[in-house]
Structure 1
Amino acid sequence: MLDIKFVPIKDSKKSYIVIDGHKDAEPYDENNTYREHRFQTKEVYDTILNYSSREIYEYFDEIIYYDLENPIASELSIFIHFYEMSFDINLNYSFYLNAWDKGFTFDNFLSVLESLLPDKYNGEDSKFLVDVENVVGLNLILPYTSDSISLHVRAFIEEINSLIKLTYLTLSANSEDSFISVFKFPESIKTPCQQYLMYFGQFLSDLGIEVETTLKEQAHSTLFSVTPKDKDDAMEKIKDVLEMYINLPNSDAFNRINNPNVALIQIQANVMHLNSQIMLAHATIQMKDATIEALKISNYQIQQQLYHQEIQKEEDEEAVIDGIISVKKYDGQWFSVNIPEILRKLKRKFK
């Protein structure tokens, strides 16, 4: 049982908090209606975390601790609020922007970090927010339990620290010679989605661009890196092709093309395989909606292009069988797939 003693400070209305024989250096005012205390002595703060949320709520509405030794940020502020039936943990990571020397902008860091966060941090019981321009805040609400809150606080901090490290790694790898895109796939269809991504290297080869691709899992995400063998191939061009590639499964017009082109048949087969696996995993969901959800890229660069891309209105045609069949450019809700241009590129390679 938590037993806190309040030792009066001479000639003061405040007291020192003593827990299990350890005294905190920060004076506490027992007369405040809102029972808030910022712990200054780490040993005392660690001690109170060993108790349950219900026990702590007997004494405090909120406890605070500033961790100046956190290896991830300039400062980590930990706010724990206690309510009748629950408690929440609020982590505020502060970054000193005048000393920011990561090789990428703080805005890019925020965008990639948000894309890497598990879905649970976008729900009713948790939030991701930027309070001010240099503070990243994450909030997690938990029900009262009989176990130590230390388990929950440390697990939360360790998870976010790992995600921030992964964000640093991802952005650092986006050099002039290569780039990494971050994907979050539902577990039920992660394998076929990853298989589809790995074919992207062959797809680029059919377009005359030779690259090396690697795929690995980190945290809750899939990291897909692309490095062109010819340094003259612009990164932005490859990113544009990747944007188009991940939207091919959404294009009914592309899937209906009938052409003996070997490269075209191969990419259609990969698209059909992906769609069939999604249909099996989500039998009650329309295939198109499931595919869009499965292949929604978290990578900040490509996502910005998807949402801000202006849909082209002009028509374009390419003969599949001269004088008999032609196809036009396909417009989707958030993207445009230039099917004629794909055919032109592939036909140059395989004519």
Structure 2
Amino acid sequence: MNLKFEKVDNRIYDYVAYLDNIEIGEADDNVGEPNSEFLIFFNDRIFEVSEKYNIADFFKEDICDFSLPLNFEQFANLNWINKELSYLSFEIEGKIIFQLIPDFVKWDKPYNIITFAEKLKLILLAHDFSVDFKQDNNFLEHGFQISCNFNFDQNINEEYERFLSVIDKEVKNIFENPTLVDINSIANKYSFPQEIRQACEQYLIYFSKFLEDYGIEISSALESRNGDTLFTVKPKNSNEALSNIRDLLDFYLSLPDLQNLEIITKDYNDVSIQQLLSNIYHLKSQLILAHSIIESKNTTIESLKFSNFQKQIYIESNLKNEEKTLDGLVTIQEFEYGSFKFNLPEIFRRLKRKFNK
């Protein structure tokens, strides 16, 4: 790759970037020192000139990230954003970052921008896209950000079009179907190994009964997309805080990893807890079976922990809340799971199965 940077004056940035002797944009020194990594702001010529190179070729050069111009004719459903302030960049860590600053003068939808961003966040989950924003005064200045991982082996144009095509399509879907996504719901996506998918999905389905026993009524839906499982939960009572349901879902998913669960729950005789244990045992038995199958193929079992496929989360005890069981021989305490702290005794105390006549 013949990529060069030429120092210039009277430009917005300090350098002009050339690829194969064709000007492809301007560049800035990342830290203001010689031989440091460059930030490149490509012009439209990059799409033509870069076709024979993959993204990895660019990051082998002295580049930390680069920004690309947005084609609002090709992606017409994005024409409501502020074209001067919004940008799309590829970062060396392997992420595409799309910062969208809304043009509030152009916004003419029956719902506000934040509601739209929440809808988009839910619908893009199935594509492995993240939508981040803060619901405060900074939203007016910073808008929201959409990101996903890119493939280093593809060329710039391929990943650029893949990323923006997904967003453009889903924005269009929301505009044309205002009720398509209910923001008063929680949606999570899981990538279960094939050997345990059915057992894990069955465990997810039981979450509705777990919440009913806890005193919260919900409706839930399970959908398979491209080998992934999309699980959606919506409270039947609109006054029920989604944050409470989200915390309880995290607690529920942590239970299969909880040590000595049989001893902890021994003095809780309600049928709701017994059925919960039954579902946990079934899940664990399927994990053991899958362990044997996969080990016979000389593959790893590390990813088979239901509650965590990305990284190990350690459970730590906390002495602020506790309850005695087994005549005082065992103490149930609060515990931490990732960034969450659960009041384990109180949760088990609240689980009650109600029977209708």
Report the Cα distance in structure 2 between the residues aligned to 1:266 and 1:95, rounded to whole angstroms: 49
Matches within 5 A, 1:102-181: 102-104=113-115, 118=128, 133-134=142-143, 136=146, 140-143=150-153, 154-161=161-168, 172-175=181-184, 179-181=185-187
Is the CA contact (8 Å cut-off) linking 2:122 and 2:181 kept in structure 1?
A: no
Residue 35 of structure 1, aligned match among 4, 18, 23? 23
Match of 1:341 in 2: 346
Match of 1:290 in 2: 305
Is the CA contact (8 Å cut-off) linking 1:247 and 1:337 kept in structure 2?
A: no
What's the CA shift for 1:336? 3.9
Query: Is 1:199 matched up with 2:198?
Result: no
What's the CA shift for 1:328? 0.9
Query: Is 1:67 matched up with 2:99?
Result: no
Structure 2 segments unaligned to the other structure (5+ residues): 1-16, 26-41, 130-140
Matches within 5 A, 1:241-280: 241-256=248-263, 257-258=265-266, 260-280=269-289
Match of 1:329 in 2: 333
Match of 1:183 in 2: 189
Q: What do you get for the CA RMSD once the two structures are aligned?
A: 5.3
Q: Output the amino acid matched with 2:333.
A: K
3-state SS of 2:210 partner: helix
Report the Cα distance in structure 1 between the residues aligned to 2:321 and 2:100, rounded to whole angstroms: 50
TM-score (norm 2): 0.55
Q: Output the amino acid matched with 1:209.
A: I
TM-score (norm 1): 0.56
Q: What do residues 151-177 of structure 1 show as CA deviations (whole Å, max 9, x unaligned)? A: 6654443345457779999995223xx
3-state SS of 1:181 partner: strand
3-state SS of 1:269 partner: helix
Is the CA contact (8 Å cut-off) linking 1:78 and 1:89 kept in structure 2?
A: no
Match of 1:313 in 2: 319
Alpha carbons of 1:230 and 1:31: their partners in 2 closer, same or farther (altered >3 Å)? closer
Is the CA contact (8 Å cut-off) linking 1:318 and 1:344 kept in structure 2?
A: no
Report the Cα distance in structure 2 between the residues aligned to 1:226 and 1:31, rounded to whole angstroms: 50
Q: What percent of counterpart residues are identical?
A: 24
Structure 1 segments unaligned to the other structure (5+ residues): 1-28, 81-87, 120-131, 297-305
Report the Cα distance in structure 2 between the residues aligned to 1:186 and 1:31, rounded to whole angstroms: 43
Report the Cα distance in structure 2 between the residues aligned to 1:31 and 1:345, rounded to whole angstroms: 66
Alpha carbons of 1:221 and 1:231: their partners in 2 closer, same or farther (altered >3 Å)? same
Matched residue count: 275
Report the Cα distance in structure 1 between the residues aligned to 2:317 and 2:180, rounded to whole angstroms: 29
Is the CA contact (8 Å cut-off) linking 1:184 and 1:221 kept in structure 2?
A: yes
Which structure carries more relative contact order (alpha carbon 8 Å, separation 6+)?
1
Which of these two proteins has the greater Rg computed from alpha carbons? 1
